[in-house]
Structure 1
């Protein structure tokens, strides 16, 4: 005996089972099957796993839906930390746990992509393509594959960005120096720029400056040290002070001599020594530094009268890549500057050797133009070039917005690993990131060691320099005006 299917009270001719068409559809109703197929696709896109819960493989659906909800929950937590507790978010992904956290995020992203592929294939199976109208029969798989490709591409890109970040952290900060507290309220960092493409043995630091960051407010003070500043005194305790108790001196030698200038200290400390400086600074390589850099750091301490525990070396050969990765920088050029390697003979007009020009006025510079802007010196002075280099440093700082970093993370990470060397310890990165965000909201103070301020390269007044630095970092308190 065959039982008739139950009938609904309001539609005597329709089976009650069709009140759940996603799970038990009437496969003979082509229009219904078409609408059902599109609903399954939409559900799979908006809430992965929900299509299976409603239409078929509930075990797979519950797993996919659970993974989706957990992913949304983690994203909400990350967004909340980014908005209301940014230091905690930076500590998780740039601090001591960074390698583990970034690896975990990458694994979860790739696993979710794989799960979504499985869910999409199962959704198409549940849609029963052979029962769909002709147009939907082809359109539904096509749309599903396109959406899956877009979502997967975005997720895979995020995964590669995470991998790039992990690699950059390991490369740049994997062998950093010891973590030290601020000195007299400031983190002082030696910033060195040089062209190292032609061989490190011939490299000289063409740009020497010190960035002082207030450990409370993030206020930045930049002091440019002329590369030909003579007779620098070394800080107390420096091994170079024992060799040069009266300040750095020149040395004439047919094979390896040097002038008494700041940018020749590396020669005396590293290049021209049989042990390459390891006897003077045996721990330099362990801390991600080099004897020539440590000697220059000691000299900068003596020149400015402050402690400088860290350095950042910027390879000018890779400088253009960072500028391009940031999308360029905005600079106001005050005078027309030539591009090119300089005159072939003394007095040769710039028009004869220049390969191009940087025109005066507001400029949005790409990497190549910015590089020439930082290097150009034949029609101006070294002091002008120092000022332009600091302008670029400030402009780069302004470009490091969260939006730019997120949008161009892979490019910035790749450029950074090619461009920079540093002994900054990784556990300081969360604090430095927070200070950098504060610094962006404040003007940068500049200390000019130039003749107009009484500083002469050949015979500098180091006591005057010390006083200038003290006044800039710790301005004298002014009496409150009388009522």
Structure 2
């Protein structure tokens, strides 16, 4: 092999032009094909190891891309598994260290003292910048993976998955307020989201908190105590016998009704609410998600705020007569931070429409979060989201179902959300004499167009 035939491996060290050109080639090769520099010019053993690691990484990347295109649920399931995330973190740390070693060795092989003086700082600067970017990105990815693993383990349970019922998943959303002026936590916001297991089409059923005479399924422990409905005969164990009081009564007065709740990732009060919602709607509730409003502010701030079209002027604080109001959320398109988003969904006094209007605002918040909670947002703000979510969200959705629900959620984002308003304007009087047969009829009418099979002919 002659010198002229292989200027990369056997350069003319006396020529600064050749050595400078060679330096740029080596830096480029190290960036594009890590390990190739060592194979061509230096330690072939290290080079073969680096090349093997590079080819393995490319193969994994191609497999991940193909899986994402053809079987996205599989990929989502992998990246939402705690063990898989730790394996991913270990791989990223390995590649971060390997790229540092290969880059520093490349700088040694470049032989900067033989290059043109004007090129030396640029060659070195580019090499170091690329090393910091690539290795730093891998290291940050490892950090995100380990943080995500801890977040998933703290929020999601390891229980068995539940099948869809009549082709749907029904998830109970509870917004709880455990403020210092309350005994325990009482859900102030209640919705049932029914999602088509194939298409992702979602139907949201808003549940007024003042539903009375709430029925329970016959197999519910609460049915044995209230066979005619919650508090319908001799009252109940708390001061107000309405839907959102069921959580407080069961949690504080009768937790023994649901002895297995905690071991299954739930709470007695939540299980009581689940039975109540099944009795009202006639639907099977597979999972629940509880959001503590005390941590909601931090979660919205971690997202970077949220965009909401405010329809009416909303007071911050105050009473029925707007005494003690600390400020206002003005009508129009607004970008709300966590504090103002919390009051947008929480404000009860001084707003026309009362609880029903408040319930609609809470649905608006849910829809806005669904639309704006993008993968890019999660990645760029993950640390804050994970910290807020671990203290704010409680659910019995198992980790094994996360991949499926992520895929289903991506479909849901692209479809309009159907809302079932259980309000007086729609013929439902929740506080006086609710007609639960009519409530179930409204729900069935909303679900039927989504799930009906096309007629043959």
TM-score by length of 1: 0.87
Residue number among 21, 40, 57 corresponding to 2:7 in the alignment: 21
User: Residue 390 of structure 1 aligns with which residue?
Assistant: 363
Does the residue aligned with 1:262 lie in a helix, a strand or coil?
coil
Contact preservation (8 Å) 1:258, 1:268: no
Moved more, 377-386 or 353-362: 353-362
1:375 is aligned, of 325, 328, 346, to: 346
Distance of 1:397 and 1:238 partners within structure 2 = 32
Q: Deviations over 1:14-65 (max 9, x none)?
A: xx42432221222222332222223222221222111111111111111111
Tell me, yes or no, if structure 1 residue 88 matches structure 2 residue 74. Answer: yes
- 8 Å CA contact 1:190–1:208 kept in 2: the answer is yes
Counterpart residue number, 2:45: 59
CA contact (8 A) 1:164 1:414 kept: no
Which of residues 299, 302, 307 is equivalent to 2:279?
A: 302
Equivalence map 1:1-400=2 (5 Å): 16-94=2-80, 98-176=81-159, 178-196=160-178, 198=180, 201-249=183-231, 257-273=238-254, 277=255, 279-340=256-317, 342-343=318-319, 347=321, 350=322, 352-380=323-351, 381-400=354-373
1:471 maps to what in 2? 445
Please give the alpha-carbon distance, in whole angstroms, between the structure 2 residues aligned to 1:318 and 1:245. Answer: 36
Quick one: structure 1 residues 478 and 439, their matched pair in 2 at CA, closer, same or farther if it must change by over 3 Å? Answer: closer
Of 412, 435, 458, the residue aligned with 2:432 is 458
- Cα distance in 2 for partners of 1:77, 1:405 equals 23
Specify every segment of 5 or more residues in structure 2 that has no aligned partner in the other structure, as ranges: none
CA RMSD of aligned residues (A): 2.5
Shift of 1:72: 1.4
- Runs of 4+ aligned residues of structure 1 deviating over 6 Å after TM superposition are 250-253, 476-480
Aligned counterpart for 1:416 among listed residues 389, 392, 395: 389
Further displaced range: 383-392 or 159-168: 159-168
Report if aligned partners of 2:235, 2:241 keep a CA contact under 8 Å in 1.
no
Shift of 1:308: 1.1
Contact 2:99 2:134 survives alignment (8 Å): no
CA drift of 1:175 comes to 4.2
Alignment coverage as a number of residue pairs: 451
For structure 1, which segment, 422-431 or 396-405, has the greater mean C-alpha deviation from structure 2 after superposition? 396-405
Q: CA deviation at 1:477?
A: 7.4
- Say whether the 8 Å CA contact 1:258–1:267 is kept in structure 2: no
1:431 CA drift (Å): 2.3
In the alignment, the residues of structure 2 paired with residue 463 and residue 329 of structure 1 have an alpha-carbon distance, to the nearest angstrom, of: 37
Which stretch shifts more, 396-405 or 62-71?
396-405
Counterparts in 2 of 1:427-442, with a 5 A limit? 427-442=400-415
C-alpha offsets along residues 179-231 of structure 1, whole Å, 9 cap, x if unaligned?
22212222111110012353984211110111111122211111111112112
Give unpaired runs (5+ residues) of structure 1: 1-5, 7-15
Offset of residue 474 of structure 1: 1.9
Cα distance in 2, alignment partners of residues 139 and 467 from structure 1: 73
Shift of 1:377: 1.3
How far residue 409 of structure 1 moved from its aligned partner, in angstroms, is 3.7
Calculate the TM-score normalised by the size of structure 2: 0.91
**Distance in 2 of aligned mates of 1:78 and 1:38:** 32
